[in-house]
Amino acid sequence: MHEEKAEWTEIIEPRAHLLDLKLRELWRYCDLLIMLVRRDFVATYKQTILGPIWFFIQPLLTTVTYMLIFGNIAKISTDGLPMAVFYLAGITIWNYYADSLNKTATVFRDNANIFGKVYFPRLIMPLSIVVSNLVRLGIQVSLFLLIWAYYLISGANLHPNLYLLLVPLVVVLMAFQALGLGMIISALTTKYRDLIFLLTFGVQLLMYATPVIYPMSALPKKYAMVIHANPLSELVELFRYAFTGSGQVSWEGLAYSVVCTVVLLVLGALIFNRVERKFMDTV
Protein backbone atom coordinates (compact mmCIF):
# COMPACT_ATOMS: atom_id res chain seq x y z
CA MET A 1 0.00 0.00 0.00
CA HIS A 2 1.15 3.46 -0.79
CA GLU A 3 1.12 5.96 2.03
CA GLU A 4 -0.70 9.18 1.24
CA LYS A 5 1.43 12.28 1.44
CA ALA A 6 0.36 14.55 4.31
CA GLU A 7 -0.88 17.98 3.32
CA TRP A 8 -0.11 20.67 5.85
CA THR A 9 -2.52 23.53 6.33
CA GLU A 10 0.13 25.87 7.69
CA ILE A 11 3.88 25.92 7.11
CA ILE A 12 6.03 28.06 9.38
CA GLU A 13 9.33 29.00 7.78
CA PRO A 14 12.18 31.27 8.90
CA ARG A 15 12.25 34.63 7.19
CA ALA A 16 14.72 34.75 4.38
CA HIS A 17 15.62 38.40 4.69
CA LEU A 18 14.90 41.56 6.60
CA LEU A 19 12.54 43.02 3.99
CA ASP A 20 10.24 39.99 4.06
CA LEU A 21 7.36 41.57 5.99
CA LYS A 22 4.73 39.13 4.68
CA LEU A 23 2.14 41.85 4.28
CA ARG A 24 -0.16 39.49 2.38
CA GLU A 25 -0.27 37.29 5.46
CA LEU A 26 -1.58 40.22 7.50
CA TRP A 27 -4.65 40.30 5.28
CA ARG A 28 -5.26 36.60 5.91
CA TYR A 29 -5.37 37.31 9.62
CA CYS A 30 -7.83 40.22 9.39
CA ASP A 31 -10.33 38.25 11.50
CA LEU A 32 -7.77 38.12 14.29
CA LEU A 33 -7.26 41.86 13.96
CA ILE A 34 -10.99 42.47 14.39
CA MET A 35 -11.10 40.16 17.40
CA LEU A 36 -8.18 41.94 19.07
CA VAL A 37 -9.79 45.34 18.47
CA ARG A 38 -13.01 44.13 20.08
CA ARG A 39 -11.07 42.63 22.98
CA ASP A 40 -9.18 45.86 23.67
CA PHE A 41 -12.34 47.93 23.65
CA VAL A 42 -14.30 45.59 25.91
CA ALA A 43 -11.46 44.78 28.33
CA THR A 44 -10.59 48.42 28.98
CA TYR A 45 -14.00 49.41 30.39
CA LYS A 46 -15.63 46.07 31.21
CA GLN A 47 -15.39 46.47 35.00
CA THR A 48 -15.90 50.23 35.17
CA ILE A 49 -19.11 51.88 36.36
CA LEU A 50 -19.26 54.58 33.68
CA GLY A 51 -17.82 52.46 30.87
CA PRO A 52 -17.30 54.32 27.55
CA ILE A 53 -18.53 57.54 29.19
CA TRP A 54 -14.91 57.92 30.31
CA PHE A 55 -14.15 58.69 26.67
CA PHE A 56 -16.05 61.95 27.22
CA ILE A 57 -15.00 62.68 30.80
CA GLN A 58 -11.24 62.48 30.22
CA PRO A 59 -10.96 65.11 27.45
CA LEU A 60 -13.53 67.36 29.16
CA LEU A 61 -11.63 67.41 32.46
CA THR A 62 -8.34 67.95 30.64
CA THR A 63 -9.85 70.82 28.64
CA VAL A 64 -11.21 72.51 31.77
CA THR A 65 -7.80 72.14 33.44
CA TYR A 66 -6.01 73.69 30.46
CA MET A 67 -8.54 76.54 30.33
CA LEU A 68 -7.86 77.36 33.99
CA ILE A 69 -4.07 76.97 33.97
CA PHE A 70 -2.93 77.93 30.49
CA GLY A 71 -5.84 80.16 29.48
CA ASN A 72 -6.74 82.10 32.62
CA ILE A 73 -3.57 81.94 34.74
CA ALA A 74 -0.73 81.74 32.19
CA LYS A 75 -2.71 83.83 29.65
CA ILE A 76 -1.41 81.84 26.68
CA SER A 77 -2.96 82.97 23.40
CA THR A 78 -5.60 80.84 21.69
CA ASP A 79 -5.50 82.80 18.41
CA GLY A 80 -8.79 84.52 19.25
CA LEU A 81 -10.65 81.20 19.41
CA PRO A 82 -12.92 80.08 22.25
CA MET A 83 -10.68 78.31 24.74
CA ALA A 84 -12.89 75.23 24.87
CA VAL A 85 -12.67 74.73 21.11
CA PHE A 86 -8.96 75.51 20.92
CA TYR A 87 -7.83 73.16 23.68
CA LEU A 88 -10.28 70.36 22.91
CA ALA A 89 -9.17 70.27 19.26
CA GLY A 90 -5.56 69.76 20.29
CA ILE A 91 -6.39 67.32 23.08
CA THR A 92 -8.60 65.15 20.87
CA ILE A 93 -6.02 64.48 18.18
CA TRP A 94 -3.09 64.37 20.61
CA ASN A 95 -4.74 61.79 22.90
CA TYR A 96 -5.10 59.45 19.95
CA TYR A 97 -1.42 59.73 19.10
CA ALA A 98 -0.15 59.49 22.68
CA ASP A 99 -2.31 56.50 23.61
CA SER A 100 -1.39 54.64 20.42
CA LEU A 101 2.31 55.32 20.95
CA ASN A 102 2.31 54.31 24.63
CA LYS A 103 0.56 51.00 24.00
CA THR A 104 2.47 50.13 20.83
CA ALA A 105 5.80 50.84 22.50
CA THR A 106 5.18 48.11 25.11
CA VAL A 107 3.57 45.53 22.83
CA PHE A 108 6.36 42.94 23.23
CA ARG A 109 6.34 43.18 27.01
CA ASP A 110 2.55 43.22 27.35
CA ASN A 111 1.98 40.25 25.01
CA ALA A 112 5.02 38.07 25.65
CA ASN A 113 2.83 35.25 27.01
CA ILE A 114 0.76 35.17 23.80
CA PHE A 115 3.73 35.47 21.47
CA GLY A 116 5.40 32.50 23.14
CA LYS A 117 2.44 30.15 22.67
CA VAL A 118 0.89 30.63 19.25
CA TYR A 119 1.97 31.84 15.84
CA PHE A 120 0.41 34.79 14.02
CA PRO A 121 1.93 37.79 12.23
CA ARG A 122 3.33 39.86 15.07
CA LEU A 123 2.53 43.09 13.24
CA ILE A 124 -1.14 42.30 13.91
CA MET A 125 -0.73 43.29 17.55
CA PRO A 126 0.50 46.90 17.12
CA LEU A 127 -1.95 47.33 14.23
CA SER A 128 -4.83 46.30 16.50
CA ILE A 129 -3.81 48.96 19.02
CA VAL A 130 -3.87 51.74 16.44
CA VAL A 131 -7.21 50.55 15.01
CA SER A 132 -8.91 50.07 18.38
CA ASN A 133 -7.91 53.58 19.40
CA LEU A 134 -9.79 54.84 16.34
CA VAL A 135 -13.01 53.91 18.14
CA ARG A 136 -12.02 56.09 21.07
CA LEU A 137 -10.99 58.87 18.70
CA GLY A 138 -14.36 58.72 16.94
CA ILE A 139 -16.22 59.15 20.24
CA GLN A 140 -14.02 62.05 21.32
CA VAL A 141 -14.31 63.73 17.91
CA SER A 142 -18.10 63.61 18.30
CA LEU A 143 -17.72 65.41 21.63
CA PHE A 144 -15.49 68.02 20.00
CA LEU A 145 -18.00 68.49 17.17
CA LEU A 146 -20.83 69.11 19.64
CA ILE A 147 -18.89 71.86 21.41
CA TRP A 148 -17.58 73.24 18.12
CA ALA A 149 -21.12 73.36 16.66
CA TYR A 150 -22.40 75.17 19.78
CA TYR A 151 -19.84 77.95 19.42
CA LEU A 152 -20.31 78.07 15.65
CA ILE A 153 -24.07 78.59 16.03
CA SER A 154 -23.42 81.14 18.79
CA GLY A 155 -21.48 83.28 16.31
CA ALA A 156 -17.96 82.66 17.62
CA ASN A 157 -14.92 83.45 15.46
CA LEU A 158 -14.89 80.06 13.72
CA HIS A 159 -14.40 79.59 9.99
CA PRO A 160 -14.52 75.95 8.86
CA ASN A 161 -12.99 75.44 5.43
CA LEU A 162 -12.06 72.93 2.75
CA TYR A 163 -9.14 71.70 4.83
CA LEU A 164 -11.77 69.56 6.57
CA LEU A 165 -11.26 67.16 3.66
CA LEU A 166 -7.72 66.58 4.92
CA VAL A 167 -8.78 65.60 8.45
CA PRO A 168 -8.87 61.85 7.59
CA LEU A 169 -5.33 62.21 6.20
CA VAL A 170 -4.25 63.87 9.45
CA VAL A 171 -5.64 60.93 11.45
CA VAL A 172 -3.91 58.39 9.20
CA LEU A 173 -0.57 60.20 9.45
CA MET A 174 -0.87 60.45 13.24
CA ALA A 175 -1.69 56.73 13.40
CA PHE A 176 1.27 55.72 11.23
CA GLN A 177 3.67 57.97 13.13
CA ALA A 178 2.58 56.43 16.43
CA LEU A 179 2.79 52.96 14.91
CA GLY A 180 6.25 53.47 13.43
CA LEU A 181 7.83 55.12 16.47
CA GLY A 182 6.05 52.71 18.79
CA MET A 183 7.46 49.68 16.99
CA ILE A 184 10.97 51.14 17.16
CA ILE A 185 10.69 51.74 20.91
CA SER A 186 9.06 48.34 21.44
CA ALA A 187 11.95 46.64 19.68
CA LEU A 188 14.48 48.54 21.78
CA THR A 189 12.72 47.72 25.07
CA THR A 190 13.36 44.01 24.55
CA LYS A 191 16.98 44.74 25.50
CA TYR A 192 16.80 48.13 27.21
CA ARG A 193 13.94 47.96 29.70
CA ASP A 194 14.72 51.44 31.05
CA LEU A 195 13.05 52.92 27.98
CA ILE A 196 9.67 51.84 29.35
CA PHE A 197 10.13 54.11 32.36
CA LEU A 198 11.24 57.01 30.17
CA LEU A 199 8.37 56.58 27.73
CA THR A 200 5.58 58.32 29.64
CA PHE A 201 7.86 61.22 30.56
CA GLY A 202 9.06 61.48 26.96
CA VAL A 203 5.51 61.60 25.58
CA GLN A 204 4.65 64.42 27.98
CA LEU A 205 7.68 66.40 26.84
CA LEU A 206 6.73 65.75 23.23
CA MET A 207 3.30 67.24 23.87
CA TYR A 208 4.91 70.52 24.92
CA ALA A 209 6.96 70.44 21.71
CA THR A 210 3.69 70.19 19.76
CA PRO A 211 1.15 73.05 19.46
CA VAL A 212 -1.50 71.41 21.63
CA ILE A 213 -1.77 74.12 24.28
CA TYR A 214 -0.46 77.05 22.23
CA PRO A 215 -0.82 78.25 18.62
CA MET A 216 2.11 78.34 16.22
CA SER A 217 1.56 82.07 15.80
CA ALA A 218 2.45 82.67 19.47
CA LEU A 219 5.92 81.14 19.15
CA PRO A 220 9.02 83.37 19.31
CA LYS A 221 11.11 83.05 16.15
CA LYS A 222 14.00 81.39 17.97
CA TYR A 223 11.75 78.50 18.99
CA ALA A 224 9.54 78.31 15.89
CA MET A 225 12.13 76.35 13.88
CA VAL A 226 12.43 73.71 16.61
CA ILE A 227 8.65 73.23 16.83
CA HIS A 228 8.32 73.11 13.03
CA ALA A 229 10.92 70.32 13.00
CA ASN A 230 8.43 68.19 14.92
CA PRO A 231 6.40 66.34 12.22
CA LEU A 232 3.39 66.28 14.56
CA SER A 233 3.18 70.07 14.76
CA GLU A 234 1.80 70.58 11.26
CA LEU A 235 -0.77 67.83 11.76
CA VAL A 236 -2.16 69.22 15.02
CA GLU A 237 -2.21 72.75 13.59
CA LEU A 238 -3.94 71.50 10.43
CA PHE A 239 -6.60 69.65 12.41
CA ARG A 240 -7.41 72.79 14.38
CA TYR A 241 -7.25 75.05 11.32
CA ALA A 242 -9.70 72.89 9.37
CA PHE A 243 -12.45 73.50 11.93
CA THR A 244 -11.64 77.05 12.98
CA GLY A 245 -9.81 78.77 10.11
CA SER A 246 -7.21 79.98 12.61
CA GLY A 247 -3.61 78.85 12.57
CA GLN A 248 -0.54 78.49 10.40
CA VAL A 249 -0.54 75.64 7.88
CA SER A 250 1.44 75.07 4.71
CA TRP A 251 1.71 72.43 2.03
CA GLU A 252 5.46 72.28 2.61
CA GLY A 253 4.89 71.46 6.27
CA LEU A 254 2.34 68.79 5.37
CA ALA A 255 4.73 67.25 2.84
CA TYR A 256 7.45 67.19 5.50
CA SER A 257 5.10 65.37 7.89
CA VAL A 258 4.22 62.83 5.19
CA VAL A 259 7.90 62.09 4.48
CA CYS A 260 8.70 61.71 8.19
CA THR A 261 5.70 59.42 8.63
CA VAL A 262 6.79 57.14 5.77
CA VAL A 263 10.35 56.99 7.11
CA LEU A 264 9.19 56.17 10.66
CA LEU A 265 6.72 53.54 9.46
CA VAL A 266 9.17 51.74 7.19
CA LEU A 267 12.00 51.91 9.72
CA GLY A 268 9.70 50.75 12.51
CA ALA A 269 8.38 47.80 10.47
CA LEU A 270 11.90 46.68 9.52
CA ILE A 271 13.23 46.88 13.08
CA PHE A 272 10.12 45.20 14.48
CA ASN A 273 10.43 42.47 11.86
CA ARG A 274 14.03 41.77 12.81
CA VAL A 275 13.52 41.77 16.58
CA GLU A 276 10.36 39.66 16.68
CA ARG A 277 12.28 36.54 15.59
CA LYS A 278 14.38 36.42 18.77
CA PHE A 279 12.73 38.73 21.28
CA MET A 280 11.48 35.79 23.42
CA ASP A 281 15.10 35.20 24.43
CA THR A 282 15.39 38.67 25.98
CA VAL A 283 11.88 39.63 27.19
The pLDDT score that the predictor gives to residue 9 is: 64
Task: Kindly report, residue by residue over 104-157, the tens digit of the pLDDT.
Answer: 888 877 776 776 666 767 788 888 889 889 988 998 999 999 999 999 999 888
Regarding pTM above 0.75, the answer is yes
Q: Are 162 and 222 in contact (CB under 8 A)?
A: no
The pLDDT score that the predictor gives to residue 275 is: 76
Q: Length of the chain, please?
A: 283
Q: Are 127 and 100 in contact (CB under 8 A)?
A: no
Task: Kindly report, residue by residue over 214-270, the tens digit of the pLDDT.
Answer: 998 888 888 888 899 999 999 999 999 999 999 889 999 999 999 999 999 999 988
Residue 208: what residue type?
Y
Using alpha carbons only, what angle is made at residue 179 by residues 257 and 60, rounded to the nearest 5 degrees?
85
* Sequence-distant (≥ 6) Cβ neighbours of residue 115 within 8 angstroms: 108, 122, 276, 279, 280
The pLDDT score that the predictor gives to residue 22 is: 62
Q: Mean pLDDT across the stretch 7-22? A: 56
Rounded CA-CA distance 247/256 in Å is 18
Query: Which three-class secondary structure state does DSSP give residue 3?
Result: coil
Task: Kindly report, residue by residue over 52-91, the tens digit of the pLDDT.
Answer: 677 788 899 999 999 999 999 999 989 889 999 999 999 9
Rounded CA-CA distance 228/172 in Å is 20
* Sequence-distant (≥ 6) Cβ neighbours of residue 101 within 8 angstroms: 178, 181, 182, 185, 203
The pLDDT score that the predictor gives to residue 126 is: 86
